[in-house]
Chains A and B, each alone.
Chain A
Amino acid sequence: MRMLQYIQAINEALHEEMARDASVFVIGEDVDQNGGVFKTTQGLVERFGARRVRGTPISESAFAGLATGAAMSGLRPVVEFMYFDFVSVAMDPLVNQMAKIAGMSGGQLQVPVTVRAQTGARTREAAQHSQSLEAWFLHTPGFKVVMPATSYDAKGLLKSAIRDNGPVLYIENRLLYHETESVPDGEWTTPLGVAEVVREGRDITVVAIGYARKLALAAAQALEGTASVEVIDPRSLAPLDLATILSSVSKTGRLVVVHDAPASCGFGAEIVRRVVAQGFDLLDAEPLVVGSAHVPMPFSPPLEDACLPSTASLTAAIHKIINR
């Protein structure tokens, strides 16, 4: 075992996959400049050269389209979006092109692109640098979507994403970059579509993604003695391991989903839809979603805090369901 930071996990996965496969290249803004803004690509250009580590002009549409065309031509691009929010200027190449070419061509072409997008809230960066837009891509046939919350999965999911033969959106969280945890020696991958039961419990199932996994564990801790909370991190949002969630709900009879994105029309709403459709009889209480307020994220610290899920708001939601 050794200690590994989340950000190092990303960096190690990039190093290892580039060494493993000469068709893997990295493209994005500043990726060749001293590891980029968040230092995730540290050491790549020195090791693999400027041919495979391509810093670009500020042209998200161009490099997302380029990655698509390169993947259609047999390469395996890893595209970096400096902030998740910036996918909005590249929605045509991402949604109309990258996601659809395999389908539109009747399966003749594969588009093995990994799109890395960095997200996070609680950093006082306001409405255009705080969004969790995973639902846009979950709603787009053709994308797989993963969201690592630990160093282990940051590395394991990135490796699986790069090796996958279709577009995978890999959402990393800047608040987790400097979290450190103990990981095994040697190589591992985290398979797409397999959830992790992070903590076992009897009374309620909390499905938590990304940063919210920390909130869920903190709430479970806080409720110790009052309620026994099971925490599930799906890790991969599409494909989704619904079976693990259903089997947990069959035990607890109660469900709360928590994430940073707004609750309306989000991933949590989708989990609730599926659980109701396939496990209605398992539920002893109405399922809930705890997400951010439906507002453009405000800057002022007390405002931002009030708009986001917290350990306290999650604990309150759990209380409400338990005491029904």
Chain B
Amino acid sequence: MPAKFWNGQKAIWETTSIDGLKTMEPDLVIQMYRSMLTIRLFEEKAKQLYQSGEIAGAIHLSIGQEAVAVGVCSALRLDDAVFSTHRGHGHLIAKGGHLPAMMAELMGRQTGCSHGCGGSMHMFEPQVGFMGGNGIVGGGLTLALGAAFAAQYRGLDGIAVVFFGDGAAQQGTFHEALNLAALWKLPYLAVCENNQYAATTPFAAAVPTADIAPRAAGYGIPGIVVDGNDCLAVYRAAAAAVERARAGDGPTLLECKTYRVEPHCGIIADRRPKEELERWGQPDRDPLEHLRREGGLSDSVISAVRHDVEAELETAVAFARGSPYPDPAAFLQEHANT
């Protein structure tokens, strides 16, 4: 894999060491902020294009959950593998995804990151270690075992991360995967994005306990709960888990408490209590605001970053709009066989 982000940006591990990160270098904080803002603006744009009909199908937005994707992926190297979910735009952006190719994929174009075959739920960008979204809730948990296994098999120190929702934690794959990862001490990090709902079902209607993380004890591995809207807290917890995995000490279950600000997906009505939505919409709950404050980012830095990101997104949308649709005949020629 080329050890470079698509846009020539320096990878985090090139600019600083794990030790340095404990003191949170200003550059890293800016990069994290930039990455979160990219997710936020990318998804706001996608929502708009979805509503206007330029994007078809179903899209699941992660607005409000940006700190989980960015906190975790900031602790990773480019060659670490990430397995994502149906709500995965943020994970790919945080891993260094190519925005024009992502936007083109949402619009079903040939230049999309899955050449128009995947769409929102099945983006793939193996060049940056993004091994795919997943339309099956809980599907990624066992796939990530394989990437972790491959690293261990080859004697490399890469790791595999799987993101999954609070709802996915009730799938059988959760148990099978964590048991096997712990048994074989795989370099595996399971990140539960607990956004408190699975589609329209509240967490408490699906889970008899307050948290998912304590289940880790059943597998003899660490289980950690962290404020998923605090990017630096997520980062610190993830970095420790990554270090543990790289050292050969096995997997960690990291539960990030967060909240999905948007409806479950474009086509499902939102019936959550108004007070709850308002509470989570407050600036003190907003992960970007939180990082701005804690990282001491100045207004001028913020507006420079925003300016950059907006320009990048404009380029991405223009690229997608200008890209051709895939050719059905060529597609069938290449993929259909009996």
Q: Check B179 for interface membership: any CB of A closer than 8 A.
A: yes
Nearest CB in chain A to that of B149: its residue: A70
Shortest Cβ distance from residue A60 to the other chain B in the assembled complex, whole angstroms? 8
Q: Check A19 for interface membership: any CB of B closer than 8 A.
A: no
Chain B residues, Cβ within 8 Å of A72: 126, 131-132, 143, 146-147
Given that A65-B141, A104-B124 are contacting pairs, would A70 and B132 also be in contact in the complex, using a CB cutoff of 8 Å? no
Q: How many residues of A contact B (CB 8 A)?
A: 38
Q: Mark A43-67, 1 if CB is under 8 A from B, else 0.
A: 0000000011000110101111111
Query: A69 and B142: CB pair below 8 A?
Result: yes
Query: B132 and A101: CB pair below 8 A?
Result: yes
Chain A residues, Cβ within 8 Å of B142: 61-62, 64-66, 68-69, 93, 97
Given that A62-B173, A73-B81, A239-B338 are contacting pairs, would A104 and B146 also be in contact in the complex, using a CB cutoff of 8 Å? no
Task: Give residues of chain A (65-110) contacting chain B, Cβ–Cβ below 8 Å.
Answer: 65-75, 77, 92-93, 96-97, 101, 103-109
Q: Check A261 for interface membership: any CB of B closer than 8 A.
A: no
Query: B173 and A105: CB pair below 8 A?
Result: no
Query: A106 and B112: CB pair below 8 A?
Result: yes
Q: How many residues of B contact A (CB 8 A)?
A: 43
Q: Check B210 for interface membership: any CB of A closer than 8 A.
A: no
Separation of A18 and B124 alpha carbons in the complex (Å) = 30
Query: B132 and A105: CB pair below 8 A?
Result: yes
Separation of A74 and B114 alpha carbons in the complex (Å) = 19
Task: Give residues of chain B (270-291) contacting chain A, Cβ–Cβ below 8 Å.
Answer: none
Query: B176 and A59: CB pair below 8 A?
Result: yes
Given that A70-B150, A74-B150 are contacting pairs, would A92 and B338 also be in contact in the complex, using a CB cutoff of 8 Å? no
Query: B132 and A66: CB pair below 8 A?
Result: no
Chain B residues, Cβ within 8 Å of A103: 117, 335
Query: A59 and B146: CB pair below 8 A?
Result: no
Separation of A106 and B108 alpha carbons in the complex (Å) = 11
Q: Mark A216-247, 1 if CB is under 8 A from B, else 0.
A: 00000000000000000000001110000000
Q: Check B83 for interface membership: any CB of A closer than 8 A.
A: yes
Query: B172 and A61: CB pair below 8 A?
Result: yes
Query: B117 and A106: CB pair below 8 A?
Result: yes
Query: A66 and B180: CB pair below 8 A?
Result: yes
Chain A residues, Cβ within 8 Å of B112: 106
Shortest Cβ distance from residue B101 to the other chain A in the assembled complex, whole angstroms? 11
Q: Check A6 for interface membership: any CB of B closer than 8 A.
A: no
Which of B146, B150, B179, B336 has the most C-beta atoms of chain A within 10 angstroms of its own C-beta? Answer: B146
Chain B residues, Cβ within 8 Å of A92: 136, 138-139, 173
Separation of A77 and B139 alpha carbons in the complex (Å) = 19
Query: B114 and A93: CB pair below 8 A?
Result: no
Given that A104-B118, A106-B118, A239-B338 are contacting pairs, would A73 and B147 also be in contact in the complex, using a CB cutoff of 8 Å? yes
Query: A56 and B180: CB pair below 8 A?
Result: yes
Query: A240 and B146: CB pair below 8 A?
Result: no
Separation of A141 and B177 alpha carbons in the complex (Å) = 26
Chain B residues, Cβ within 8 Å of A71: 146
Q: Check A25 for interface membership: any CB of B closer than 8 A.
A: yes
Shortest Cβ distance from residue A166 to the other chain B in the assembled complex, whole angstroms? 10
Chain A residues, Cβ within 8 Å of B180: 56-57, 59, 62-63, 66
Separation of A106 and B327 alpha carbons in the complex (Å) = 13
Given that A74-B150, A103-B117 are contacting pairs, would A59 and B179 also be in contact in the complex, using a CB cutoff of 8 Å? yes
Shortest Cβ distance from residue A265 to the other chain B in the assembled complex, whole angstroms? 17
Query: B153 and A106: CB pair below 8 A?
Result: no
Task: Give 7 A-B pairs besides A59-B180, A65-B141 with Cβ atoms closer than 8 angstroms.
Answer: A69-B143, A97-B142, A101-B132, A103-B117, A105-B132, A108-B115, A239-B338
Interface residues of A (CB under 8 A from B): 25, 51-52, 56-57, 59, 61-75, 77, 92-93, 96-97, 101, 103-109, 141, 238-240
Interface residues of B (CB under 8 A from A): 81, 83, 112, 114-118, 122, 124, 126, 131-132, 134-136, 138-139, 141-151, 153, 160, 172-173, 176-177, 179-180, 183, 334-338
What are 16 A-B contacts with C-beta separation under 8 Å?
A66-B143, A68-B143, A69-B144, A69-B146, A69-B160, A73-B81, A75-B146, A75-B149, A92-B139, A92-B173, A93-B142, A97-B134, A105-B122, A106-B115, A106-B117, A109-B131
The 4 closest A-B pairs by CB, nearest first: A69-B146, A65-B142, A106-B115, A70-B146
